[in-house]
Structure 1
Amino acid sequence: MSTYRIQFAKEIFGVPFTVGHVDITRARDAGRALRAAEIRFARTRGVADWRECADSVALAEPRCDD
């Protein structure tokens, strides 16, 4: 299993500014890590959907935990 860092950004005048990130330590693949991060980000912000606080999401390169 890999560790993923998912970054959330808000765009202001077309320039993305990072508003937060979530580290997912156990995920089978990038898709599952992305979905888990979206849910965790929304819960920590106290909103129903992550899009209320961010405009875009980006997946960083996975790191192996060997």
Structure 2
Amino acid sequence: MATYRVNFAKQILGVPFTVGSVEITRARDPMRALRAAELRFARQHGVEDWRERADRAEIAPASGA
């Protein structure tokens, strides 16, 4: 299982500003990690859908993975 970091950003005037990030320590594949991060981000911010706080989610392997 791999570790992934998902960065969430809000785009303002074409410039992305990071509003948060979530690290998923154990995921079978990147798509599962992305889905888990979206759910965790939404819970952390008290919203139903992560898109209420961010416009984009970018996934990358976490450093040291």
TM superposition score category, shorter chain reference: over 0.9
Residue of structure 2 equivalent to 1:33: 33
Distance 1:43 1:59 in 2: 18
Gaps of 5+ in 2: none
Q: Please, what is the CA RMSD of the aligned residues?
A: 1.0
Q: How big is each residue's C-alpha offset from its partner over 1:16-64, in whole Å with a ceiling of 9 and x where there is no partner?
A: 0000000000100000000000000000000000000000000113553
Secondary structure of 1:60 counterpart:
strand
Gaps of 5+ in 1: none
TM-score w.r.t. the length of structure 1 is 0.92
Matched residue count: 64
Q: TM-score, normalised by structure 2?
A: 0.93
Identity of aligned residues (%): 66
